[in-house]
Structure 1
Amino acid sequence: MANAKERVQHRAIFVPVKPYEPLLLGSASLLVMWLLLLWMYRRKLFLRI
């Protein structure tokens, strides 16, 4: 029973974030892509199209 209560409290932390979930997901994706491109630029890895 205590374990179930801990799970509910853990989920309660993210309830106010729920409306902003698409924004946060998009921001996180953009950050990962930007870091990947920065890493490629610093190592002079350029792709020819």
Structure 2
Amino acid sequence: EEWEFQANGEHDLFVLNVRYQSSDGPDVDVLFHTREYSQDLSPDTLTYIGQG
């Protein structure tokens, strides 16, 4: 698995990109985009970028 984290405290947002191995096939890439993370860590969007 791999991950990349970027945050901007001034704009109160972060982006987390995660790649993990799936037992069902190729690697899976997932993008978490969260605004106002100081109040809630739930992602505003959760995107599957592609496979592999």
- TM-score category, normalised to shorter length: under 0.3
* Higher relative contact order structure (alpha carbons within 8 Å, sequence separation ≥ 6): 2
TM-score, length basis structure 2: 0.19
More helix by percentage: 1
| Length-normalised TM-score, structure 1 | 0.20
Question: Greater strand share, 1 or 2?
Answer: 2
